[in-house]
Structure 1
């Protein structure tokens, strides 16, 4: 896992803005940003890929969260310089004979970064690299925690970690949880309660259950009343107050 973080931090990755031809490259690249102007900011990008094309500048709510999906692209080829270094380096091998085991599993790197709409695309690469490294660190922590449990020291029964992002209205910012796959929410109640207490959140609602994770591309219709214009109250209409998403 540490090698993966080093590879990401060394500039061997690029980021592609989903559904666009915009790519972000590291400082070692002479390009930096392709597919759009280097002076463009996130707000302009969101407005350009949105379904509506407003003719005049509109106001944006501070509390509104706008999601921009980004894909991480890992570099598979080597630079010419690195090939020369490998060919000219002195070959040396050190071996240690001791019992060991190797665990191979697919890990989904799901991370997020909160930035202002005025942030330039040219400044986004560093932010995304740091976010990806933090996500790998969280995954590593959960895996090591499982390996320390009784009966999983050799990797048998190791569960894939799953990443969930939450946005409690009372908090105002995201919280990311990484939990082993397949563990029921009921068995993690004490952990969630402790998280509520640390963040001074009410204990009457399970805000950090899997089902309350922030929806990204679920395709589900959530809070449909927000898209309906206000209607005059009629005598035969019942008004109800709903708190939260439905």
Structure 2
């Protein structure tokens, strides 16, 4: 039974537009605490919406209740509450209409009673409450193509048979990093009374992501699956007996090889016996999603191959798994992404579920090219007291002098800052444009008529205007130019810079005198006027060593005296395109 509810701060943005009706909330439940991670819009068919949502959620995450602004949510939304698994603590979170303030949290019991619960609104740090388990396997999907009737029915029957096999006691999960086998009846390699911590202790540091300067780790457990898919007969036949199933007669059969790749969130309080159940649920959910993908996008003689992508949007504390046809491009999937945004209550103003938005697991190949990512997350806090800190939203890569075996020392700082800006749009999924080289940047400026042909191959500087021209030409990104007549005026731009990072969230290129830098954030106190700027310095010439970069101040908070008090400065503020 839930005794305490912890609600993600990010959910408050979904409270503003609840004037009538309700939204579903989902999250993770431990033995005593429910962690609410996000919201889902409710369609006319609550059961259909629940089934769809569960195909997006990792195993271990489930719909927990509703979010409502109605005075009597139980009587008004009883049909929705009754659709939610009654084994969970069905929550009723009430809010004030048109506001982001949560009023109360109750638990709706099976007998219809409501019990008020204690709750807190906070940032939920997944690595502190869950272990991430990733399961990968290949499963052969074979189904007949009937001469009469729909092939979708045959597909559904084949998927149900595979789900039955996965749910059976014969399915085994092997922990790749250790000699441990798990199944529904027990664990081989660990005592039966072990906890999830026993598995975590067996994996190495290369499978963990350090989260900033905390001691917490996000650990990914990798599993392979061994199962018997013989139409559920594994429950009745001893595991040592071979089983051959065959049918006679002519029949056309389609055979697809499914690459299942699932995520399961396991509460740190979980018992070892809960692990295989959670992994099994994840696989079954993904099979349903793959069946839907095949049914919607395939033709009788041309079947698509579904592929799984895991995304962790910046606006959410949860990981989502989406299935796309492997052969479809971003344009063809735009409608599906729009449905995802609307279902999960995300605004239609930024890409969150493109392939490039996929989450990078430890040991997996990423698209950062070996550059350092989000260096600012490791720097000490600003010394401004009482200020409002606003920083870049999302990920970028650090570009500086002498990288890529190219000597641009003393002239290429603005080029490097531009590369950091391009990396932000790339990593957020707005485009897949490669990070432009100095030659590409120069050639672009020549092509648009801003520079003479002799500019290509030179060591001439560029400024904020040139940066904005290249962003517009290569990425289709417009920019605002903010100017100050001297560095002494930078302190007066605190409110404008705060607004930029709150609404746009993009890194800023600033050029003045003979130097260019990247601004990643601002900490500004409107009352006292105290201000600090989070600076990423492209003039660094060393190796990709995070400790040196942070300790030596190549990335860090700088006061107003950092700027040349007599130099004119132009700032290039890239604007996010409203695309998904």
Q: Please give the TM-score of this superposition, normalised by the length of structure 2.
A: 0.33
Q: Is the 8 A contact 1:166 1:212 kept in 2?
A: yes
Point out the more displaced range, 111-120 or 196-205.
196-205
Match of 2:275 among 114, 124, 136: 124
Give the structure 2 partner of residue 35 of structure 1.
189
Task: Tell me which of the two structures has the higher relative contact order, counting C-alpha pairs closer than 8 angstroms and 6 or more residues apart.
Answer: 1
Distance 1:68 1:190, change over 3 A: same
CA distance in structure 2 between the aligned counterparts of 1:72 and 1:215, rounded to whole angstroms: 22
Give the structure 2 partner of residue 18 of structure 1.
176
Give the structure 2 partner of residue 55 of structure 1.
none
Give a deviation string over 1:119-156, Cα, whole Å, max 9, x none: 11122111111211111111112112234xxxx12xx2
Helix, strand or coil: the match of 2:255?
Answer: coil
Give the structure 2 partner of residue 69 of structure 1.
222
CA distance in structure 2 between the aligned counterparts of 1:104 and 1:94, rounded to whole angstroms: 16
Give a deviation string over 1:177-229, Cα, whole Å, max 9, x none: 11111100122122212321222213221000000011124233562526855
Match of 1:208 among 349, 353, 366: 353
For structure 2, list consecutive stretches of 5 or more residues without a partner in the other structure: 1-158, 207-213, 384-389, 397-580
Q: Is the 8 A contact 1:15 1:72 kept in 2?
A: yes
Superposed CA RMSD: 3.4
CA distance in structure 1 between the aligned counterparts of 2:170 and 2:345, rounded to whole angstroms: 40
> How far 1:76 moved relative to its partner?
8.7
Q: Is the 8 A contact 1:38 1:120 kept in 2?
A: no
> How far 1:74 moved relative to its partner?
2.4
Structure 2 residue 321 is the aligned partner of structure 1 residue 176: yes
CA distance in structure 1 between the aligned counterparts of 2:379 and 2:187, rounded to whole angstroms: 40
Q: Is the 8 A contact 2:261 2:308 kept in 1?
A: yes
Match of 2:364 among 211, 218, 230: 218
CA distance in structure 2 between the aligned counterparts of 1:226 and 1:116, rounded to whole angstroms: 29
CA distance in structure 2 between the aligned counterparts of 1:142 and 1:162, rounded to whole angstroms: 9
Give a deviation string over 1:23-75, Cα, whole Å, max 9, x none: 10222xxxx111122222223422442329xxxxxx876xx743221111225
Match of 2:237 among 82, 95, 98: 82
Give the structure 2 partner of residue 89 of structure 1.
none
CA distance in structure 1 between the aligned counterparts of 2:316 and 2:309, rounded to whole angstroms: 16
Structure 2 residue 242 is the aligned partner of structure 1 residue 106: no
Q: Is the 8 A contact 2:165 2:229 kept in 1?
A: no
Give the structure 2 partner of residue 159 of structure 1.
304
CA distance in structure 1 between the aligned counterparts of 2:256 and 2:339, rounded to whole angstroms: 30
Match of 1:242 among 385, 392, 395: 392
CA distance in structure 2 between the aligned counterparts of 1:124 and 1:111, rounded to whole angstroms: 13
Q: Please give the TM-score of this superposition, normalised by the length of structure 1.
A: 0.72
CA distance in structure 2 between the aligned counterparts of 1:171 and 1:205, rounded to whole angstroms: 13
Q: Which one has a bigger Cα radius of gyration?
A: 2
